[in-house]
Homo-oligomer: A and B are copies of this chain.
């Protein structure tokens, strides 16, 4: 799989089953994830391999990797160390998941 061939990866807390984030992997990110036991992705914004936690300290320890029926998405089941999201809560700590908001009743994706 070339860098251009990115597979969406759902990241789930293995203990609580909470959905934490969604990111993308290429073959190299998946290989490193399985070799190191920590979550690696391909950053679409920086266009580079992304070792989650390398700058934030918020590593995700891998429990296992699952694949869907059509083999076009992955599920990383992980144990988070602390925060997960790059945004912070009111106390200044990294949020524990990226899905901290309900979609507003009148909202669309453009108007959130």
Contacts and interface: CB of A to CB of B under 8 A. Distances in A.
B67 A99 contact: yes
Interface residues on A, range: 35 or more
A100 B77 CA distance: 13
Interface of A: 1, 7-8, 10, 12, 16-19, 21-22, 27, 30-31, 34, 64-71, 73-75, 85-87, 95, 98-103, 108-110, 112
A19 B30 contact: no
Contacts of A10: 10, 19, 22
Nearest to A16: B17
A13 to B, nearest CB: 9
A109 B9 CA distance: 12
21 contacts: A1-B110, A10-B10, A10-B22, A12-B19, A17-B17, A17-B18, A17-B19, A19-B19, A21-B68, A22-B68, A27-B108, A27-B109, A64-B102, A66-B99, A66-B100, A66-B102, A67-B101, A67-B109, A68-B98, A69-B100, A70-B98
